[in-house]
Amino acid sequence: MTQVDDISPKTLEKLRTARRVMALTGAGVSAESGIPTFRGADGAGFWGRYDPHDLASRAGYEGNPQRGWAWYAMRRAQLRSVEPNPAHYALARLGAYYPDFTLVTQNVDGLHERAGSRDVVELHGNLDHVKCLMEDAPVAYKEPADAPAITEEMMERGEWPEVPRCPGCGGLLRPDVVWFGEMLPAIAFARAEVAAQDCQICFVVGTSAEVYPAASLPETARRHGALIVEVNPEATDLSRWADLSLRGPAGVVLPALAEMIAGHV
């Protein structure tokens, strides 16, 4: 475990002079914006309160589409009241600093783009996108202006809205996110793999690194010789073999790191 100020001059030089860099982010990068993680400490994450098989699988959605739609409507409503935090802005700064920077996220909240990152690789989809459950094709969907913002209390009381239907086939709509047992979007994952194979530095920020295949990306980067830099307040399985484990909240660590790297020019 290292603090930013303890990074050795040799490592700092590598961080400053690298040209091909990737970052893999997870729910922890948005925690300081007020969005719960999935596997939070003391049951504070989504999976401490809800069963992932109910809410993040096709079978769970098909078993109770109204509950599934409500969960995502609630999270879309939460998103409207949050802002990117200093970690998102620090990653946008690093993206502008490095000549070849690929930001790969498991998050579906769009906060990296809102902080100014461009061309973000979204591995698990996006909360704002919707597709047809039957045809698997994207559908343009706009939340009705008079739709009540779903709250967690409404979710728990079972006050679920009707699920809108596909204008083409009449099938149910679903969020365009990746549930357990589903393939990741092929182009996005291919781009992420190329970046992992090619990068000199791989930042791994705010992810438990437990969910595959996203969790394989830092392993790939390491096999191809990249320096692995983890930013997380908690130890993960990856901490054992990361070259640098910066233990702290991303909103504190990343701005300091970005300043050390990009602030000297």
> Which residues are the active-site residues?
124
Q: Choose, by CB under 6 A, the member of 169, 181, 223, 263 that binds ligand BJW.
A: 181
Question: Residue 211: what residue type?
Answer: V
Q: How far apart are CA 19 and CA 200, in angstroms?
A: 7
**Residue (20 or 67) nearer to ligand BJW, CB:** 67
Q: Choose, by CB under 6 A, the member of 15, 18, 24, 27 that binds ligand BJW.
A: 27
Q: Choose, by CB under 6 A, the member of 210, 223, 259, 263 that binds ligand BJW.
A: 210
Contact 226, 194 (CB under 8 A): no
Smallest CA-to-CA distance from 178 within 189, 168, 169 is with 189
**Stretch of 20-28, 156-164, 190-198, 257-265 contacting ligand BJW, by CB under 6 A:** 20-28
Q: How many residues bind ligand BJW (CB under 6 A)?
A: 35
**Which of positions 75-134 make contact with ligand BJW (CB under 6 A)?**
106, 108, 124
Query: Minimum distance from CB of 232 to ligand BJW (Å)?
Result: 5
Q: Fill in the DSSP letter of residue 226.
A: P
Terminal-to-terminal C-alpha distance of the chain: 27
E strand intervals along the chain: 20-25, 100-105, 121-122, 125-132, 138-139, 173-177, 201-205, 227-231, 244-246
Query: Minimum distance from CB of 257 to ligand BJW (Å)?
Result: 12
Question: Interface mask (CB under 6 A) for ligand BJW, residues 224-253, using x and -?
Answer: -------xxxx-x------------xxx--
- The four Cα atoms 196, 201, 205, 210 give a dihedral, to 10 degrees, of 40
Residues that bind ligand BJW (CB under 6 A): 26-28, 31-32, 37-39, 45, 56, 106, 108, 124, 177-183, 206-208, 210-213, 231-234, 236, 249-251
